[in-house]
Amino acid sequence: MSANAADLLSAIDAAEERFAAWREDGLLDEQQLQLVREDYDAWRQRLDPTTDYSELLSIEGPATNRGPEVVAQLQVLSFLKREIRRQHGAKRISPGAAGLMVGDVERRITAARAGRPYEPPPPSTPQAPKEAPVKRGWAEMLLDPRSLYALMSCGGGLLVIGLVVWLWSVGVFENKLVVASLLGGANLAALAAGAAVVLRTPYQTAGRAVTLLACLVMPLNLWFYDAQGLITLKDGGHLWAPALAICALYAGIARLLKDPAFVYALVGGVTMTGLLFLADQRVDRLWEIISPSALLVVIGVACVHAERLFAPGDGPFSRQRFGLAFFQSGHVVMAVGLAVLLVGRLVGRLYDPVFAELGLFEAPDVAAVAKVKLMALGLALVGAYTYFYSLFNHQGGARYAYSGIVALLWCEVIALDLVAQPLTEQLLVVVLASTALAANAATGAALRLRRADADPDAEPNAGAAVDQIGAATGVMANLFSLAALLLGAAQFVRGVFQPGVLPAFEIDAWYVGAMLAVAGTSTATWVMQFKRGRHAGASFALETAAVAAVLAGAGGLMLAGVGTMATMLALLAAAPVAVHLAAGRATDAYARSAWRQAAQVAGATLLVLASAVVLGLLPAGAAAGSRLMIGLFFAETAGLFALASMARDDRRRGNAVAPAIAAVSAWAAAWQWLLVAGLVTYAPMLAGSVMGLVCLAGGRLLSAAPADGKPSSHSGLELIGYLLTGLGGVAGVLLTFNRLAAGETVWELAGLMVGQSAVAVLAGAMARTSAPRRALFTLAGCHALFGVLVVNSLSLLTFGQRVELLLAACGGLLLVAGHLGWRRETDSPSGAVTFNLFAGSVLAAGPLVFGLISNRFDAEHAHWAWVMIHEIGVLGVGLGLLGAGVLCRVRSTTLVGAASLAAYLVSLVMLIDVPDRLQSVAVYMMVGGASFFTAAVLLSVYRDRLLSMPERIRNGDGVFRVLTWR
């Protein structure tokens, strides 16, 4: 094959690829692209190797000299442009698409001649216009099947409407029998048409919809018969007979179509037939509560058991299809029957106070007649049996278990109504507790059944059913125990607090026994739940038992004649502490934690009663004795919650509730005892601060003594200490602020601030971490500030004297901050530390030195206390600064301290009392001459040293080394 033939073949391939790309862009359809490819395939077959095809590959437009690659590209693009025109001439592509293709090729040619890459146009390039649809003729449109179907539908509809209007105009519809026949016939026709569509056409959904609609409309015929007087219940008509025929139609349709959806219609039809039979005049039992409810329950139970009549498998009438439909519809019908029975009993119980005066109906026999009550009990038992049957034989989940248990509880209520025993409040508590105990017994039985369930031939749902029963009975036991506890708590409030808005209640031995029954039942619930591994339910049950035991104990002590509520609380508080300590012997970690948590709940319950005593809601007895006993109670409670916060294996050791309660209880105990000691005003603040410091010290001591070779942090006790110290300190600050604002400051308040500041400093020093340490030191600073404000308000000093003391105090604070910063410094010195040391030294010593010199000149008018402050202050500050400077090698403190001591020593000369006879010019001359002579002698003796002193100062030799310090 010649070169020209090969080049043409390559151009054909490139053109075919470009047409395929235009097909992706929507310029061609698949049929057009297929025609183009067939044309090129035929052309490839016709190629002759000996023919010259140079003319087909000629370049349109001017030649180019950009190289062989650009020439070859321009040859292919020119060939493609001519091919677009040829394919358009052959009617293979549309004119619009051909124009867009030519434009694309021309842009590519322009880019190739310019020597730049081709950039496609933006996406908004208009697509090829759609070809205009071919218009059909009138005859073709008229004979179209869709047109014929629309014409027939409209004509048939108009014919039917016209026929109905004509029949109505001639009076045919005035005949009730004719109308009833037409309605029945139309209903049957729709039913038959829907069944035919299902059986004979592929439109299954439409056919089932029409058939189901016909089934739903069919009971309206019965209403029409009764409304038009054809078959009336009032006149003794047997309306149940056509209803029975409707049921037969439902059954036949369900059998014919093999669709379980019609089972629900069948069950509904049977139920409607039964109700119509009860409404028959010869029967007349529809408005009796027991008759329709019994009918519904029996039909429901029968449908539930009818599930077993169908064989398991995948057939059209399998248990999974038709059996499940009967099962579900039966439960719905039975639930409606039980609901009717429940409503009837509720209406009967409320008939006298609510419905008797209305006179609308008589009292239902189901709540008044013993035989009917017994029948109601039987229906409730049948319902409970059906629910448990469904639980064991069907995958129903927990709803059947809960429904069965609720039905049994309803049976219990009906049985109590049959006994006709007066239901007192104490008996109601006992009944609730007994019900919870029965639920625990059921839980135990479920556990035994589950353990003994090892038969491989047993029902597959038996194990799951037993588990569901155990879970449901456990929940019910907790709920009924809680209900009994709440009722008992309300009775205790009414008996002890005696609020005027509620009727009074007398706490007697029956009450104590009832609460003990609640405690015992809740303990049994804890055992059952613990065995089942339900830790949350077990904990709740044990906490319920703890509260019930507290109420029982309180009632027992009241019956025993314990003098005051405070004494009773102190005696009861010992029990939770003993339980918490005894729980430590339990081997199971969860049981140990659960008993400890129950002890805390009991302690919290007692705290509620104690709060009522403190607030004066309950009589507290004699003042001193009551305070002592309440303090003892709070101390016991603080110990209980302190033990709880320090328990290592407590599940809730990360919870801060126990330390907070322990802190508040310890504070309250110290408060009550300080009130007995006579410290009334400052008792709360002192109690918090002192007890907090004691708890912190105890936590440090306990952590210093390892019990098993490893030190324990005892963070719980230390947290209590932090809380108490913080609460007491904040309370002291608030009290001081209040007194300052009111102008009622006293020196005792300043003493309180000083004491609490010292406590906060000690507590901060004992803190293990930085966060509480900073908080406590900040609190100490607030105490010091408020103490200074109190002293300032009480002080008799002048403004200058106050400024002097303030500057000295600020200097002391700067010195403390500077030395602390110097201690934390690493290699590089800090400018802030240097400033604090220098400014603190000057401020601490300067005002005192000036004050000292002032007192030297005016000693007669200065107060002795003010003089002693300066005497001791200058000497102490100077010695302290000098010592600290030498030890820390700090220049500013050393020099200021030395200067202060020198000023103090020099100022002593002013204390010399010069006699009057020596006060003459001669004496002054002698002193001046002696001074000059002595100075000259000293200069002559130390001449060499004085000459070398500048060099020694520069080098820092000898005593001048202090100048090289920081």
**405-453 residue pLDDT tens:** 788 777 877 887 777 666 677 777 777 777 777 776 766 666 665 555 5
Which is nearest to 905 in space by CA: 853, 861, 848, 961? 853
Reported as a single tens digit per residue, the pLDDT across 727-752 is: 888 888 888 888 888 777 777 777 77
Which pLDDT score is estimated for 539?
83
| Backbone φ and ψ of 861, nearest 5° | -95, -10
Place of tokens 């305070």: 627
Q: Higher model confidence: residue 881 or residue 945?
A: 881
Tens-digit pLDDT profile for residues 571-582: 888 888 888 888
Quick one: tokens of 384? 């409970």
Question: For residue 445, what pLDDT is reported?
Answer: 66
Euclidean distance between CA atoms 255 and 258, whole angstroms: 5
Interaxial angle between packed helices 176-200 and 219-227, expressed in degrees from 0 to 180 and rounded to the nearest 10: 180
Q: Has residue 126 got a pLDDT over 50?
A: no
- Cα(725)–Cα(773) distance, rounded to whole angstroms? 12
Q: Where are the alpha helices (DSSP H) in 561-622?
A: 565-583, 589-614
Across the chain, which distance is largest between two alpha carbons, in Å? 164
Split at pLDDT 50, 70, 90, the class of 495 is: confident
Distances (CA, A) of 860 to 190, 755, 855, 864: 129, 36, 8, 9
Q: How many CA atoms lie within 13 A of 386 on its CB side?
A: 27
Cα–Cα dist 608/579, whole Å = 19
Of 480, 471, 549, 476, residue with least CA distance to 516: 549
% residues pLDDT > 90 (the chain): 0
**Beta carbons within 8 Å of 106's beta carbon, 6+ residues apart:** 81
- At 355-407, the pLDDT tens digits run 766 666 677 777 777 788 888 888 888 988 888 788 777 665 567 777 877 88
* pLDDT at residue 712, as a whole number: 45
**pLDDT at 619 exceeding the cut of 60:** no
pTM of the model as a whole? 0.52
Scan for tokens 């509730």, then name that residue: 657
Name the one residue in this structure whose structure tokens are 């059209």. Answer: 316
* pLDDT tens sequence across 910-931: 666 555 444 444 554 555 566 6
Q: What is the pLDDT of residues 624-678, one digit of tens each?
A: 777 788 888 888 888 888 787 776 554 444 456 777 777 778 777 777 777 776 6
> Is 179 a residue whose pLDDT tops 80?
no
Place of tokens 């100062």: 953
Whether pLDDT at 123 is above 80: no
| Alpha-carbon gap, residue 953 to 688, rounded angstroms | 58
Q: Which of 884, 883, 806 is nearest to 848 (CA)?
A: 806
Q: Which amino acid is at 627?
A: R
Spatial separation of the C-alpha atoms in residues 720 and 726, rounded to whole Å: 10
Q: Burial letters for 856-893: b for 16+ Cβ neighbours within 10 Å, e otherwise?
A: beeeeebeeeeeebbeebbbebbebbbebbeebebbbb
Q: Is 250 exposed, middle or buried (0-12, 13-18, 19+ CB in 10 A)?
A: buried
